[in-house]
């Protein structure tokens, strides 16, 4: 892909799943990668994988609910690599307890919205400031198919992911003239560690809802995120891109 060589990217939640696949893919395309995760061992393992393949990366422990951690992430990009060209805001919460909307506790609602939506905004505000100083950049936020359509019994998660899409579109309009492109990836069911822990019956049900009749691979989500940050997508901004095996085609 064009435009990633010698650029710097920060990837949150890069210790496993989509985040790890994204960090590895950015490194393959020549980017210097700031690998962040709340799980230190997993994040450092991602760095090792990148370095073993000849790439450049460093690890930071980042809790995305901590403003100071996010500030440190952006400052590290500037101090170590001279700026922040790209960001993949991937870390988020899980769907949590699956109950109808009226049965969601206020604590669960607040926790999910803080992790999924507010933390995406926390990351973006500092990333945008750094990109404004250097004259442009690209941001990709991880939303979900649940951010494009309703899903039963996951109200806080779905509301948060819908919010990520709205935030992405709004910021894309605000900063288009500044050369900052902001998009979202909306995965369908993906074969991540979380899905691998589900009962076989549930995994089969998820696959049966996908027109392609399979779960997605984390690498397929990473390919979309990297493409959106590349010069190959230079005229794309404000787009929630479904990578879901055809699920949204039937909506």
Residues taking part in catalysis? 157
**What b/e string do you get for 33-42 counting C-beta neighbours within 10 Å, with b at 16 or more?**
bbbbbbeeeb
Helix axes 67-81, 119-134, angle to 10 degrees: 30
DSSP states of 162-178 as a string? HHHHHHHHHHHHHHGGG
Q: What is the spatial distance between Cα 140 and Cα 145, in angstroms, rounded to a whole number?
A: 15
CA distances, 191 to each of 45, 136, 196, 244 (Å)? 19, 33, 7, 12
Distance from chain centroid for Cα 64: 12
Q: What is the spatial distance between Cα 36 and Cα 59, in angstroms, rounded to a whole number?
A: 6
In DSSP terms, which residues pair with 88 in a beta bridge? 11, 140
Residue 197 gets which letter from DSSP? T
Three-state SS letters, 10-55? EECCCCCHHHHHHHHHHHHCCCEEEEEECCHHHHHHHHHHHHHCCC
């Amino acid at each position: 892909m064009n435009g990633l060589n010698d650029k710097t990217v920060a990837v949150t939640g890069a210790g496993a799943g989509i985040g790890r696949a994204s960090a590895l893919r950015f490194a393959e395309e020549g980017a210097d990668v700031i690998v962040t995760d709340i799980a230190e061992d997993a994040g450092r393992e991602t760095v090792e994988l990148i370095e073993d393949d000849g790439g450049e990366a460093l690890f930071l422990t980042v809790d995305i609910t901590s403003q100071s951690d996010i500030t440190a992430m952006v400052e590290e990009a500037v101090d170590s690599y001279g700026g922040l060209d790209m960001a993949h805001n991937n870390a988020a919460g899980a769907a949590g307890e699956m109950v109808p909307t009226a049965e969601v506790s206020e604590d669960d609602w607040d926790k999910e919205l803080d992790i999924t939506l507010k933390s995406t905004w926390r990351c973006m505000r500092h990333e945008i400031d750094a990109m404004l100083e250097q004259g442009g950049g690209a941001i990709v936020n991880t939303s979900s198919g649940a951010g494009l359509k309703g899903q039963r019994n996951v109200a806080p998660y779905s509301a948060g992911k819908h919010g990520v899409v709205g935030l992405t579109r709004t910021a894309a309009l605000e900063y288009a003239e500044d050369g900052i492109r902001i998009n979202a990836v909306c995965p369908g069911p993906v074969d991540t560690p979380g899905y691998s822990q589900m009962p076989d019956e549930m995994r089969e049900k998820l696959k049966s809802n996908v027109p392609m009749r399979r779960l997605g691979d984390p690498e397929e989500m990473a390919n979309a995120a990297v493409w959106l940050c590349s010069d190959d997508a230079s005229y794309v901004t404000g787009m929630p891109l479904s990578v879901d095996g055809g699920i949204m085609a039937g909506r």
